[in-house]
Amino acid sequence: MIKSIKNMFSIPDLRKRIIFTLLLLAVYRLGAQVPTPGINSTALAEFFNQAKSGFLGFVDMFSGRALSRMSVFALGIMPYISAAIILELLVVVWPYLEKLKKEGELGQKKITQMTRYGTVVICLIQGFGIAVGLERMTSPTGSPVVLSPGWGFRLLTVLTLTAGAIFVMWLGEQITERGIGNGISLIIFAGIVIGLPAGIRSIVMKFRSGEMSPLTIIFLLVFMLAVTAFIVFVEKGQRRIPVSYGKKVQGRKIYGGQSTHLPLKVNTGGVIPIIFASSVITFPATIAGFIHHPIAQSIARQLGWGMPLYNLLYISAIIFFTYFYISIIYNPQDVSDNLRKYSGYIPGIRPGKNTADYIDSVLSRLTFIGAMYLALVAIVPEFMMNGFRVDAIPFIGDFLDANLPHWVTNGMGVTFYFGGTSLLIVVGVAMDTLNQIESQLVMRNYESFSSRIKLRGRKG
């Protein structure tokens, strides 16, 4: 491993990409410390300290604590993700976008440009909603969060948050293009892991004060290690479809005639479906939380951690986006056409439509397993923290709350500073980034991170 890290920095191009990525992530973290003008930072901190265990605390974690400071990067990368989701949905129903998607790189550039415009529109809407919500917010002691409310503050806040979100979007695109890894995922990754030191410090303080026993800490560490190992195990899992290639004679040489496999990952979509699901769930809940109206407050409460509506929508969104995203990035018909083009076939399956149908059936079963895996990893830690608040279920909620065990309705009292969603994103993004670095090492005949891979130079 140490030798691989040395090799990683001995390659000039790879070294420049890694340093460039780290510098842009540092810029992102510095910008997250710059507050939006006109905010009473003390009152805002008191408000978020009271709400840190709720849904706003969850959103704040994804923004790298930028929301609780109401910094210029408070909107983070979520508006860009929301715009991308909307464009992907429109591709299915809008023939113009479908045509652009088939035009290759040129069409993708136009779709990316439209995504940027959509990001600006979403930022303007979210920025105005946040500005109005901040004017109505007060700290637990009654201090107003906004020092000078009015249209001047609203316009300044909208422009500030929109400019900040666009800059974050630009950072993500630059990391993807000139750095290493997926820029959008790495920005979310950086926002989550920044809370690790504070989480460790909080655990140490609770242990010293007697709030957390050594047994609880051991259980917490073992559980997080087990979840991490489970995530790595599933992320590495593949279904290998055997593929054979027919022999082709050209002149005096014989080509093909070999057997290989077509790898289909258990979790083909990676962390993208769960990021999509989180962004969709956080948008209405955040807006509703800022509106002081009984209906809006009720919606915000129902979308809180552990609430039945939140769990139902979250699991449903994960399953939907898993199938939706995989249907976009993986086309069985294209795979079948490419196999036939190079004289490849799946033993026992006729080329053409039968091959495409077979690949689609295997992929559908794998997608179902992957969707269940994502939902399980996302929900179980939250359940252990907060339980399932069944009292909110209409008609039978009170009966269930009175008869179910206490640990089901209130959780097990275990605090996870990395919930299932964040842990999945952290592990998934780290694995994807390491895979890209490893591919660069392998391509240049350097020793990779895997100790079992022995690379040899070509002979002749």
pLDDT over 90 at 170, yes or no:
yes
Residues 294 and 407 in one domain: yes
CATH number of 395's domain? 1.10.3370.10
CA angle at residue 160 from 304 to 24, to 5 degrees?
85
Q: DSSP states of 85-110 as a string?
A: HHHHHHHHH-HHHHHHHTTTHHHHHH
Residues 6+ apart with CB under 8 A from 62: 76, 78, 188, 191, 192, 278, 282, 422
d(CA 414, CA 212): 9
SS3 17: helix
SS3 241: strand
pLDDT of residue 254: 59
Residues 187 and 243 in one domain: no
Q: How confident is the model at residue 252 (pLDDT cuts 50, 70, 90)?
A: low
Highest mean pLDDT among 21-25, 105-109, 321-325, 428-432 belongs to 21-25
Residues 258 and 164 in one domain: no
pLDDT of residue 210: 79
d(CA 196, CA 175): 23
Match 């699901």 to its residue by tokens. Answer: 277
Cβ atoms 83, 119 nearer than 8 A = yes
Q: How confident is the model at residue 283 (pLDDT cuts 50, 70, 90)?
A: low
- Residue 218 within a domain: no
- Residue 457 within a domain: no
pLDDT of residue 216: 76
Residues 30 and 178 in one domain: yes
- Residue 422 within a domain: no
Residues 26 and 173 in one domain: yes
pLDDT of residue 458: 37
d(CA 300, CA 289): 5
Residues 171 and 96 in one domain: yes
Residues 173 and 251 in one domain: no
Eight-state DSSP code of residue 207: H
| Model confidence pLDDT, tens digit, residues 45-66 | 777 776 555 555 556 666 667 7
Q: DSSP states of 35-80 as a string?
A: BPTTB-HHHHHHHHHHHTTSHHHHHHHHTTTHHHHTBTTTTTTHHH
| Model confidence pLDDT, tens digit, residues 209-248 | 877 778 877 877 887 788 888 888 888 888 888 888 776 6
Q: Give the H/E segment covering residue 253.
A: strand 253-255
Q: DSSP states of 352-399 as a string?
A: THHHHHHHHHHHHHHHHHHHHHHHHHHHHHHHHHH---GGGSTTTHHH
Number of compact structural domains in the chain: 2
Report the chain's mean pLDDT, rounded to a whole number.
79
- Residue 211 within a domain: no
Residues 31 and 149 in one domain: yes
CA distances from 325 to 92, 227, 236, 362, 438 (A): 12, 24, 19, 16, 26
Residues 29 and 174 in one domain: yes
- Residue 439 within a domain: no
- Residue 206 within a domain: no
pLDDT of residue 457: 38
Residues 170 and 248 in one domain: no
User: What is the token pair recorded at 432?
Assistant: 């994807």
Residues 67 and 175 in one domain: yes
Q: Which of 10-14, 94-98, 178-182, 415-419 has the lowest mean pLDDT?
A: 415-419
Residues 255 and 189 in one domain: no
pLDDT over 70 at 90, yes or no:
yes
- 40: domain range? 1-194
pLDDT of residue 453: 44
